[in-house]
Amino acid sequence: MYTTYMTNLSSDQIQQLNNYSVFIQPNGTILFKGNDIANALPIIKLISSSPNEPIAASFFMRRVGMFISMQFYMMTMYDEIWDGPIEQLQFFSTTEYGNKTISTFIPPEYFRDVQENRKLDVQLIWEQQCFSIIKQLRLKCSISPLVLWENVFGYLLWHYYTFFENPALEEKARNDWYLLKDSSIWESFSTKEYFRLYLKDQQPAELLNTTVRTTCCFSKDIPGLQKCGFCPQSK
C-alpha cells in the first residue's frame, strides 16, 4: 500500500468536503465506523426514519456516495486522495435542512498525493472503500447492488461535467474519467461493470437532468426527502 501521508488541506478543499457533508472534525458523536456498517443498519434506519432496512441501506449509500465523489473530485482537482484504514472512515448524526441525517468524518492525516499510476488509486477507491461498504450492506439486507452503485454515480456526473468545461483541467479529467470506467479495474472485484452500464456510452453533459438511473433510490420513501433528480419512475 502507498502510505506516504504528506499533504495539508487548503481552506478551499475543506469547504468543498464540507459541502458534501464530509468533515475533518466530527461535529457530533461517532456512531459507527466503516468496518462495522452491517451492524449499524438499525441505527441508520432510526436516524433516517426509513420504513425498512433496504431503504435505510440505500439512504446510507447516498451519503457514502458523497464521500466517494469527493475522493474522485480531490483526485482530479488536487491530485490528492484520502487513504485511511476503513475503520477510520467514521459516521455521526447531524441535521441538514431540518432533517436528521448521517455525515462522514475522515481524519485529515490520511490524505496523500495521488500515485504516479493513477489507476491504482481509482481501484483503491472503487474496491476498498465503495465496494467494501456495499458488500457489508448486502450482508444484512436484501437490496440490489445496482441501487447502491447508482447512488454513488450521480454525484460524479456534475463534477466531471464541470471539469470537462475547464480548459485547465479537461485533459486530466478525461484521463481520470476513462480510469473510472476501466474494465480491468471493475473485473477485479465485480461481475459487472456498473459504471459503464450506468453511463450507456454517454458523456456527463448528456446525462445531467435526465432519468439516467435504472433503479429507484427510495429517497421519496423517507420522511422529509423527495424523489431524486435522476429517478426513472414516472411522476
Tens digit of each residue's pLDDT (9 = 90 or more) over 20-42:
999 999 888 999 999 999 999 99
**Rounded Cα gap, residues 175 and 230, in angstroms:** 25
**Rounded Cα gap, residues 87 and 112, in angstroms:** 17
Looking at residue 132, its pLDDT comes to: 97
* Residue pointed to by grid coordinates 459507527: 32
At 142-195, the pLDDT tens digits run: 999 999 999 999 999 999 999 999 999 999 999 999 999 999 999 999 999 999
The structural domains of the chain, with segments of one domain joined by +, span 11-214
> What percent of the chain lies above the pLDDT cut of 70?
86
Nearest to 158 by CA among 201, 119, 205, 121: 205
Strands 99-105 and 90-96: antiparallel
At 82-106, the pLDDT tens digits run: 999 999 999 999 998 888 999 999 9
Look up residue 22 and give its three cell numbers.
Answer: 464530509
Sort residue 97 into left (φ over 0), alpha (ψ -120 to 50) or beta. Answer: left
Strands 22-23 and 99-105: parallel
**Rounded Cα gap, residues 186 and 171, in angstroms:** 23
CB atoms within 10 A of CB 224: 12
